[in-house]
Amino acid sequence: MDERGEAVSTTEGRLEIFGIKGIGEVRPGDDIATLLKDTDLQDGDILVITSKIVSKAEGRIRQAPDRHSAIMEETTRVVARRGDTVISQTRHGFVMAAAGVDASNTEPGTVLLLPEDSDASARKIRKSLPATVGVIISDTFGRPWRHGLTDVAIGAAGVQPLEDFRGGVDTHGNPLSATVTALIDEIAAAAELVKGKLSGVPVAVVRGLSHLVTPEDGPGVRPLIRPADEDMFRYGSRDVVQARRTVTDFTDAPVDHQTVRRAVSAALTAPTVDGEVPWRLVLVDSPDVRSALHPAPYLAVPCLVDGVRDRDTRVALLGAAVENLLIQLAMEGLGSSWTPKDPREVAALLDLPESWEPMGVIAIGHPATPPADHPPADPEPYLLTR
């Protein structure tokens, strides 16, 4: 940007993109930089390499007649599921179909996993090349709300990953408050136009963007990965209920009180009879009381209170509210477990009114390990049709 904060083009507006042919089948142990030794590379070029050949060179090939087990091993969070299609968050932080496990362009009975660390792979390749170039490792992603696939960067070295226009103004003087361009994703998509899916061209050279090539390797692809707790669409709508899991092992990270209060608001959307809410929720802020009651970073105690309905009805309404609470906690990235506890002991520790009956204790915290995935259960054994 110039001194007025306006975007300035540092390129002549002309790009050249061409594929590199003749690389052939890549095998475990092959050196990608060596395979490119005859390529006419110039300082300032950007090399875009399909992740498949990096995975093959690094031996990320798995004998896997059961592709699903490989997907689950690479998954830290199932985001959405429809039939056999699983959208997963990988341990790299990517949200993508099948956790990036690919059964195409590989021997029958095998699958390809993503590179262990694509940024490190890009740095290694860049270091061995004869020219000062940028390196992007690309893979194919689907996109929410749009049909069709496009290539994006899953690893990078020596390329500016983002361009931040926030704080500047456009040509009409309007302030830019949310414009951050994913440069390496745009370059990866452009390069795919000459690589293609079936042409056997796994590498492309992008020439004309030397102003984006940096002397240092830089941060790689990490600045583009949105943390799950910042994701407004953390789960697919069909998968909200399936995302709830009983979690008993928590980290020491504190639990945000406002997050819990949002979950209480969700609990209040549960069914009622004539608007009656026959329950209250005690949030246990006191560390001493939590220590005496249950070893968890945060506690909530659902209590049944007097009402005009019979006890069985009130218990059912409380159960529905608690389920809403637990699901919303999962949506917020928190784990929870609802466990029974002697109501007299709990009431005494919390100094509750006599008319309040504690109905167990809900432990809340950040999961120490990703909750296990459970595919949707077959409902038939639990049904009786008349």
Domain check: are 258 and 137 in the same one? no
Spatial contact of 44 and 133, defined as CB atoms under 8 Å apart: yes
Report the distance separating Cα 20 and Cα 15, nearest Å.
Answer: 16
pLDDT of residue 100: 92
Helix, strand or coil, per DSSP, at residue 335: strand
CATH number of the domain encompassing residue 269: 3.40.109.10
Q: If we measure between CA atoms, which residue out of 299, 273, 277, 268 comes closest to residue 286? A: 299
Domain check: are 144 and 66 in the same one? yes
Domain check: are 128 and 249 in the same one? no
CATH number of the domain encompassing residue 97: 3.30.1330.100
Spatial contact of 360 and 261, defined as CB atoms under 8 Å apart: no
Structural domain includes residue 59:
yes
How many domains does the chain fold into? 2
Report the distance separating Cα 335 and Cα 338, nearest Å.
Answer: 11
Spatial contact of 161 and 182, defined as CB atoms under 8 Å apart: yes
Give the domain extent around 262: 240-365
Cβ-count burial 29-40 (b if 16+ within 10 Å, e if not): ebebbebbeebe
Helix, strand or coil, per DSSP, at residue 268: coil
Domain check: are 210 and 255 in the same one? no
Structural domain includes residue 382:
no
Single residue among 199, 230, 261 that ends a domain in this structure? 230
pTM: predicted TM-score of the whole model, two decimal places: 0.73
Report the distance separating Cα 283 and Cα 101, nearest Å.
Answer: 42
Structural domain includes residue 7:
no
pLDDT of residue 346: 95
Structural domain includes residue 376:
no
Structural domain includes residue 182:
yes
Spatial contact of 332 and 259, defined as CB atoms under 8 Å apart: yes
Torsion angle, alpha carbons of 362, 364, 367, 373, to 10: 40
pLDDT of residue 5: 32
Structural domain includes residue 10:
no
Domain check: are 26 and 123 in the same one? yes
* pLDDT tens for the 386 residues of the chain, in order: 333 333 333 445 789 999 998 898 899 999 999 999 888 899 999 999 999 999 999 999 998 777 888 888 898 888 888 878 888 889 899 999 999 998 887 888 899 999 999 999 999 999 999 889 999 999 999 888 889 999 999 999 999 999 877 667 777 777 776 678 899 999 999 999 999 776 789 999 999 999 999 999 999 999 999 887 777 777 776 777 877 889 999 999 999 999 999 999 999 999 999 899 999 999 998 999 999 999 999 999 999 999 888 999 999 999 999 999 999 999 888 999 999 999 999 999 999 999 999 999 999 999 998 777 777 788 899 999 99
Domain check: are 253 and 201 in the same one? no
Residue 112: beta bridge partners?
61, 102
Domain check: are 100 and 31 in the same one? yes
Structural domain includes residue 3:
no
